[in-house]
Structure 1
Amino acid sequence: MKRKSGEYGREVAVFSGGMGKREKHKQKHERGHRGRASFNYLQDEHHIDDTPPFSSSSSPPKFSDEEEEEEDDDEDTTPNHEHPSNDMPSKFLFYQQSVQSPKGDISYMQKFFLMYVGGRMPLHLQEDFCGTAFLSMEWLCSDTRRTAIGLDLDLEALNWCMENNIPKVGADGFSRISLFHGNVLQPHQSKLVKSDPQELVSNISLSENRENLQTDVLESDVQTGSIAQHDNFTKRNLTLPGRDIVCAFNYSCCCLHKRADLVLYFKHARDALSTKGGIFVMDLYGGTSSEHKLRLQRRFPNFTYVWEQAEFDIIQRKTRISLHFHMKKEQRKLRHAFSYSWRLWTLPEIRDCLEEAGFRSVHFWVREMPDTTEIIRTEGFGVGKDVKYEEATSFQQQDSWNAYIVGVA
């Protein structure tokens, strides 16, 4: 399905919007409010970089690996640890280590920008459905001039980013990124997240409220957390640089179930781009394997990651994706660490919606993924390593494929 994204991509959770199994998170996804991104069950090896992402401290937790974990296909007999002990690694950390590979995504985004826009280097990124903003962190580390904006519905994931990811960027990390808690369908109403309410000023310039956006979209649920939100600092009231690139990875757009919502989101993405030109980049997966029940697992040194795909509704084109993490030494399992209700869009549908939203051209970059019947179990990211994405105007159906979709404004 998806390449190793660098989060999971989809509208799943701000990298994980609605990353948990809790019912309120399920309701969010089913309404199209995702939090963070979902994850790619078939990651693209080209995206894998074995060097630690912006900090060696983000390497996998040290569990001993004495025994190989047994597969448990009986969900009814598997305990669900929704409240792990304090010494258990965060589900967000597991997600980043097994689902995301931001350096590869950034490499392709830079390539797309220079091909379709050109004239300058991209410096300003907006990551929608950002979850823990793992991609944004790598973006900041790739060039000290770069800035990032992250938007997600999952306040828990944003809090985790503020406490665990941004401090690893460096002394200027907090000054170059702005995280917003809110709905991608109502971005101007999203609220700025700050780790210290006393610092809500320094780098912010207020502007007049030029927009009076009214939509029929459901309001996002208000969540509380350890990180402060300030009602006066919404995206509508802040002057932010026009973005060179807006992205939505980890199949996050599959969290939007209605065509009208998809077009509305694409319009917001287009409006956020610089008047000098910019691109919107998203990912999508498909193939015959995407339309039936499926379970895949990938073993890492200290844990096993499991992608579980429910039965596929061919009329509504919907399925439910669940991500599980099995820890080896502890013999513990985080079942349904993230669970998403997805509407699987087709490439022509996405193209039509992007064009309706005002993008002047749409480009597909596709690659065939390994056959799922041959990789029910894999070790780490050792699959499809040498296959690259190529721009295509036609592509024959396969068992599994993954695509970047680029909208040029």
Structure 2
Amino acid sequence: MARTTAQKKPRGNKKLPLRGKKLPFDKYDLYLNAVQSPDGDVQFYRERYKEFFGAPKKGLTLREDFCAGGAISCEWVKLHKDNTSCGLDLDDEPMNYGRQNYIAKLKPEQQRRVALIKKNVLEPGLPKADIAAATNFSYYIFRDRKTLTDYFTNVCKSVNKKGLFIVDMFGGTACTDASQDRIPIRRGFTYYWEQKDFDPATNYANFGIHFRYKGKMYKNVFTYEWRMWTIPEIKEMMLEAGFDDVAIYWEGSKRDGSGNGKFDRVTEGEACLSWIAYVIGIKK
């Protein structure tokens, strides 16, 4: 499931300054452990589908936009023997990694129900799906309203009736300033999430993921150039794109103020330093 803002970060618009350099660790494995929880993600998707449309009588199709290695797509086919999934991305490197390290570890019959496809999500003819998901804030790469609305419209056309479009978001006052979070993820490795800057005139911000391994820092293993969208903007664009309704799910907090990974449907948020939420477009 989604993690606290300090932990759960990104997938979209990765510039890889270290691409081609030999690293003494598997950057995609560290990324998965540091920022993703695909098993929790797919449980959340299934629960929301049941909430809005009841228990499905057959397997469901998930499309994972900006899929990178397709970890979520692989978890989806494990949930039900008739579930199918496909992941879309433009970057061959993470998709090839996913084929070799995620799909290859599935059972043969599960492998037949998942595919990673090189395709631009702005192009017409997206694969049909009961649930489409763009998570880890990947769609923040679209930094103007027209392009993002075009993407949402494309998704709406591709989602079946009685279907969902699920995106996640993060924000809060802490996201309007440069900052860095440090999180140990396993023995010998530390994960760093850095917000490099924020422009209040455009809401553009630059981010980087760094790893410390055996005392040496490897900076900018992944970098991101995003626009920090707001929940009202995303909700308005989903409705403009043709979705019938939009629901918001807000992450609860532990006693220390960090996120607890549990999301409840809300109509009002909470003013806090950092938050994570899901916004779901509903097609009836």
Deviations 1:317-366 (A, max 9, x none): 011010011113xx333311110001000000000000000000000001
Partner of 2:281: 407
Q: What is the TM-score of this pair, normalised by structure 2?
A: 0.90
Query: What displacement does 1:19 show?
Result: 4.9
**Partner of 1:198 in structure 2?**
none
1:166 matched residue in structure 2: 103
For 2:220 and 2:28, the matched residues in 1 are separated by 13
Deviation of 1:144 (Å): 2.1
Aligned to 1:145: 82
2:22 corresponds to which of 80, 84, 104: 84
Identify the match of residue 115 of structure 1 among 31, 51, 65.
Answer: 51
Counterpart residue type for residue 84 of structure 1? K
Q: 2:164 aligned with 1:279, yes or no? A: yes
Please list the CA deviations of residues 22-70 of structure 1 after superposition, one character each: whole Å capped at 9, or x if unmatched: 6xxxxxxxxxxxxxxxxxxxxxxxxxxxxxxxxxxxxxxxxxxxxxxxx
Looking at structure 1, the residues matched to 183 and 105 of structure 2 have their Cα atoms a distance apart, in angstroms, of: 27
Which residue number corresponds to residue 21 of structure 1? Answer: 17
Contact 2:3 / 2:259 at 8 angstroms: preserved in 1?
no
Instruction: Find the aligned partners of 2:8 and 2:65 in 1 and give their Cα distance.
Output: 12
* 1:9–1:252 contact (8 Å) kept in structure 2: no
Alpha-carbon separation, structure 1, partners of 2:207 and 2:276: 16
Report the residue type matching 2:35 in the other structure. V
Aligned residues: 279
Q: 1:319 aligns with which of 186, 189, 205?
A: 205
Partner residue in 2 for 1:3: 3
Contact 1:255 1:343 in 2 (8 A): yes
2:245 to 346, 361, 370: 361
TM-score, length-scaled by structure 1:
0.64
Contact 1:11/1:253, CA 8 A, preserved across alignment: no
C-alpha distance 391-110 of structure 1, shift in aligned 2 (>3 A) = same
Q: Is contact 2:252–2:264 with CA below 8 Å preserved after alignment?
A: no
Corresponding residue for residue 297 of structure 1: 182
Q: What is the alpha-carbon root mean square deviation over aligned residues?
A: 2.4
Give yes or no for contact 1:11–1:255 (8 Å, CA) kept in 2.
no
SS at match of 2:129: coil
How big is the shift at 1:166? Answer: 0.4
Structure 2 alignment gaps of length 5 or more = none
Larger Rg over CA atoms:
1
Classify 1:369/1:285 alpha carbon distance in 2 versus 1 (closer, same or farther; 3 Å). Answer: farther
Q: Distance in 1 between matches of 2:199 and 2:137?
A: 18
Q: Given residue 113 of structure 1, which amino acid in structure 2 is its aligned partner?
A: Y
How many angstroms apart in 1 are the aligned matches of 2:122 and 2:9? 17
Number of the residue aligned with 2:34: 98
Of Structure 1 and Structure 2, which has the larger fraction of its residues in strand? 2
User: Which residue of 132, 139, 142 maps to 1:253?
Assistant: 139
1:393 aligns with 2:267: yes
Deviation at 1:309, TM superposition (A): 0.2
Q: What does residue 155 of structure 2 align with?
A: 269
SS class of match (1:316): coil
Instruction: Classify the secondary structure of the residue corresponding to 1:364.
Output: strand
- Paired residue for 2:114? 177
Structure 1 residue identity aligned to 2:66? F
The letter of the residue matching 2:181 is L
Cα separation, 2, equivalents of 1:332 and 1:363: 44
Identity %: 30
Among candidates 208, 212, 225, match of residue 341 of structure 1: 225
8 Å CA contact 1:151, 1:184 repeated in 2: yes
